[in-house]
Homo-oligomer: A and B are copies of this chain.
Amino acid sequence: MSRIYERVALIGLGLIASSMGHAIRRHGLAGHVAGHAKTAATREAALEIGFCQSVHASAAEAVKGADLVVLAVPVGAMGAVAAEIGPHLKPGATVTDVGSVKQAVVEAVGPHLPAHVHFVPGHPMAGTEHSGPHAGFATLFENRWTILTPLEAADPAAVARLKALWEGMGAKVAAMDPAHHDSVVAVVSHAPHLIAYTMVGVADHLAQVSNSEVIEYSAAGFRDFTRIAASDPTMWRDVFLTNREAVLDILGRFHEELFVLQRAIRMGDGPALFDYFTRTRAIRRGIIEAGQDTAAPDFGRGKVQP
C-alpha cells in the first residue's frame, strides 16, 4: 500500500486511535505517526507498544506539521481540543475525528478551525468493549464501515484522500449527511447500548435473584448485554448527551413497542407474539447476507464448535 499522508497526528490514544496507529504502520499508510494523550503513562504506552513513532505532551505540539489530524477524544472533549490545536494546524492539512456523533462534533469543532484546513468528520463503526492504548489492534476496522460526513463546502480531493486512508486500513467507506448519520447510529448503536445498560442495571438490584446467580447463570441474551454494557462510560455518556434528540426519539418508540409486546404477554396473545418474533428473524438474515456477522452458532466462538 502506498503512503497517503506524510505525517498523521492522533489526538487521544484509546482503542480507536491505537488501532489506527497499528493499521497505518502495518500498511505503510503514513510516513510518521505522532500522538498525544493527556496522561504520561498513556503516551509512554503508545511508544512502547509502537503504534506511535513520537508522542507529545500537548496536542498543539503533536499537530505541528501534520497533514492529517485525527481527533480521537470523547465527543464532549472535542471542542476544547479543537480550540487548542486550531492556531497550530498546517495550511492544507485535513482534520478529522472518530466520534460516534457527528452533528455535535461539527458544531463543537468547526468554529475553531482556520479556513486553510479541510474538516472532514468521520465515524469508524467498529469497536470492542475494551478501552485504552492497550486495547487497539490493526484489524479492528477490516470489513467494517467508516462513515464520513463532509460538509457541503468540503474539498473533494481532501475527502478522497481520507477515504483512501480508511480503505487502506481495510474499512468500507460511505458518506452521508451528519444529521442522517446521527439518526442511523441512534437505531443501530446508541439506543441498543442504552437498553443493554438498563437491563444490566435492572439485574443489579433485584431482590429475589442474587447478583451471583445473575452472573453464574448468565445465558446468551444477558451475557451479550453485559458485554455491550461494559463499554467505556465516558464515551457513552458523551454519546447520549450529544445525540440526545435522536436517541430519545428511538427510546420513545421502543417503550411503545415494548408495551405492545408486554400487553400480548399479559393477554396471552400467542399469535401476536409468534408473528412478531417471525418478522424479526428476517432482519437477522439480512445482516448475515450483508456480511456484518457470521451465522456460526454462538458467534463462532471456537469452543462450541462440533
B233 touching A221, Cβ below 8 Å: no
Does B198 contact A258, Cβ atoms closer than 8 Å?
Answer: yes
User: Could you tell me if B280 and A189 are in contact, using CB atoms closer than 8 angstroms?
Assistant: no
- A306 near B139 with CB under 8 A, answer yes
Task: Give the interface segment out of A34-42, A59-67, A110-118, A288-296.
Answer: A288-296
**How does the 8 Å CB contact mask read for A138-162 relative to B, with 1 for contact and 0 for none?**
1110110101000000000000000
Contacts of A261 in B (CB 8 A): 194, 197-198, 201
Query: Are A225 and B192 interface neighbours, CB within 8 A?
Result: yes
Question: What chain B residues lie within 8 Å of A279 (beta carbons)?
Answer: 201, 204
Given contacts A140-B304, A208-B183, contact A257 B201 (CB under 8 A): yes
By the criterion of a CB under 8 Å from any partner CB, how many residues of chain A are at the interface?
115
Q: Please give, as numbers and ranges, the residues of chain B lying within 8 Å of A129 by CB-CB distance.
A: 284, 297
Contact between A187 and B203, CB atoms less than 8 A apart:
yes
Partner of A221 from the list B189, B238, B278, B304 (CB cut-off 8 Å) is: B189
- Complex Cα distance, B185 from A266, in Å, reads 18
- The closest CB in chain B to the CB of A130 belongs to B297
- Cβ–Cβ < 8 Å partners of A241 in chain B: 265, 268, 270, 273
Secondary structure class of chain A's binding surface, majority of residues: helix
With A224-B224, A306-B138 already in contact, the answer to whether A273 and B214 are too (CB < 8 A) is no
With both chains docked as a complex, state the minimum distance between the C-beta of A225 and any C-beta of chain B, in angstroms. 5
Q: Is the CB of B292 within 8 A of A233?
A: no
Cα(A283)–Cα(B214), bound, Å: 9
Which residues from chain A sit less than 8 Å from chain B, CB to CB?
22, 76, 125-130, 135, 137-140, 142-143, 145, 147, 174, 180, 183-185, 187-204, 206, 208-209, 211-231, 233-234, 236-238, 240-241, 244, 247-248, 250-251, 253-255, 257-258, 261-262, 265-266, 268, 270, 273-274, 276-281, 283-287, 290, 292-295, 297-306
